[in-house]
Chain A
Amino acid sequence: MRSVSDKERRVKATIKHIVMVLASLVMIYPLLWMLVSSLRPNDLIFREPGILLTTLEFSNYVQGWNALSHPFSHFLWNSAIVVFGSILANLVSCSMAAYAFARLDFRFKKPMFALMLLTIMLPVHVVIIPQYILFSNLGWVNTFLPLIVPKMLATDAFFIFLMIQFIRGIPKDLDEAARIDGAGHIRIFLQIILPLMIPALATTTIFTFMWTWNDLFSQLIFLTSPDMYTVPLALSAFIDSTGESNWGAMFAMSIVSILPLFLIFLFGQRFLIKGMATTGIK
């Protein structure tokens, strides 16, 4: 009796694995195909739906790298600056705000907390036009400042929320003890809370990386000269200039552009998935 149900279970598990493997293949087939196509001569891309490489062609990478007014490394570098600045800004400003909301009691805390939650859901479109006018008056358009300064002011409230959740899980006894020992809030924050919230900081880092690296909308608005272009802008300028004619180079640079994301994904998966599951950020 038992062996029958065991066998049945094994058959079921096998079927399920087959379904999952097929589904996985469908999911990543387009990505694999893009990778393979970037290593193929152009005319083959239009004829070959398979993902077996018969020739290895790196010319797409060379061509794509030099197709625009600057080598692609220039755009990678610009993106890196924006991403790095954004990460640093988010880590500092959001952790400070999170500490206040999670651990301190002060006037107007409740309405401020409510406002913070609401800003998470606020579409950026309702502030982007006056922000553009403001930054343009400050002479900041076509610099990286409009992309980084708002983050220094903790406008990515999602991360405040994520960190609040995390700090709430840290035992209060720890900071109470430090307080009895005479530590002030700044010391408690820097020496006790911050080191303990490294997982939340890592999640923030990874998500900021992802979102900023991918963000086309605000970079399109604030960066106007090719000199300042970031990776998303360079790729979309690429498609405008070469259009349908040079998919190989297009794909090659697409692969280059998602490679950092992919690496972050490999290393940061644990934090990514945990961060997703607990707060539901996308």
Chain B
Amino acid sequence: MSVVAEIRELRKTPKGERRKNKDNKAGHLFLLPWTVGLFGITLFPMAASLYLAFTDYNLLQSPNWIGLDNITRMIGDDRLHNSIQVTFTYVFVGVPIQLVVSLAIAMLLDRGMRALPFYRSVFYLPSMLGASVAIAVLWRQIFGHSGLINQVLAMVGIEGRGWVSSPDTALATLIILHVWTFGAPMVIFLAGLRQIPDMYYEAASIDGASRFKQFFTITIPLLTPIIFFNLVLQLIGAFQNFTQAFVVSGGTGGPADSTLFYTLYLYQQGFNRFDMGYASAMAWLLVLIISAITVVNFWLSKYWVHYDD
């Protein structure tokens, strides 16, 4: 059962029956490290960052309460708006394409196919390495002026350009990088496809349903919980991407702020300029955006996700 399913479960189950002998002492003992972490490393810092969001703080002087100034500053901050736009483009173009590709490949890699473990590994490998600096470095070269892409294009007589150094195409190269790492959702789709009983397809074949029709009447409906799960996870993950944009642009988010991801801008404000108050306000806006999208996702899921129960 996935995290998403677990959260659904949590919402709908009534209070369970209570055992008489509770393991209060043992339970809290085993949970001690986690509890300390929850308060010390998560909840307390969250409260602190909420407070800092209403202050001006540069680490040297003590925080200075400025009320809603950070928020008005955010409203007027063009670079911030741009970073939101860049991030939304990246997320809402990259994630759907990646999911479609991963489902398509998972469908091709169906049961009984020879060499399946080999293909699965090959397709999974990039998603394992994709988050590394090494791959970002590689991307920077591949899509650079004298990079691999332009060398290939030159062979067919097309003159390339500096894909990562042009504001029109730099973000697209990062989206391609994201799509390339489709192995993770693919593996989850494969597991989901495997759970669809063969007899559904056999029955449909006997009724004369085409492959095409079988896909839309059997595969997709039965796969909706997995699609939903992948969607929620990939959206949350994609919003937080940082490494590739940082490395490809040398930490600037350039050219012309075209790869200034939200997290990169937050990093710049917080850890280059030590504008901790403003960066905290930005962090909270990110949480609000991600939560809102996740909540809307859960709400919409009622209309298209089919669970067996």
Residues of A within 8 A of B (CB): 13, 16-17, 19-20, 23-24, 27-28, 30-31, 33-34, 45-49, 92-93, 96-97, 99-101, 104-107, 109-110, 112-117, 119-134, 136, 150, 152-155, 160-161, 165, 184-186, 189, 210-211, 213-214, 216-217, 220-221, 231-232, 235-236, 239-240, 244, 247, 250-251, 254-255, 257-258, 261-262, 265, 269, 272-273, 276-280, 282
Contacts and interface: CB of A to CB of B under 8 A. Distances in A.
Contacts of B184: 276, 282
A229 to B, nearest CB: 12
A126 to B, nearest CB: 4
A158 to B, nearest CB: 8
B46 A127 contact: yes
Nearest to B105: A23
Contacts of A34: 134, 138
Q: Which of A13, A31, A92, A99 has the most CB of B within 10 A?
A: A31
A120 B38 CA distance: 12
A106 B229 contact: no
Nearest to A247: B141
Contact of A155 (B24, B37, B280): B37
Contacts of B209: none
10 contacts: A33-B142, A49-B152, A165-B1, A211-B131, A217-B243, A235-B134, A236-B251, A239-B137, A250-B137, A277-B188
Given A105-B18, A123-B287, A127-B46, A150 B108 contact: no
B46 A106 contact: no
Contact of B34 (A122, A153, A277): A153
B30 A153 contact: no
A261 B7 contact: no
Given A104-B26, A130-B45, A28 B125 contact: yes
B146 interface: yes
Interface in B178-234: 180, 184, 187-188, 190-191, 229-230, 233
B237 A126 contact: no
Given A24-B123, A96-B30, A216 B240 contact: no
A110 B16 CA distance: 10
B286 interface: yes
B271 A221 contact: yes
B100 to A, nearest CB: 14
B125 A244 contact: no
Interface footprint category on B: 35 or more
A120 to B, nearest CB: 6
Contact of A24 (B119, B246, B290): B119
Do most interface residues of chain B lie in helix, strand or loop, or is the interface mixed? Answer: helix
Contact of A125 (B30, B59, B283): B283
B88 interface: no
Given A133-B59, A232-B132, A282-B237, 17 more contacts: A30-B142, A93-B37, A97-B34, A115-B38, A121-B236, A127-B49, A129-B45, A129-B52, A217-B242, A220-B271, A221-B267, A251-B141, A254-B138, A257-B132, A258-B134, A265-B125, A280-B3
Given A247-B141, A254-B138, A122 B42 contact: yes
Interface in B39-60: 40-42, 44-46, 48-49, 52, 59
A106 B290 CA distance: 32
Contacts of B144: 244
Nearest to B237: A282
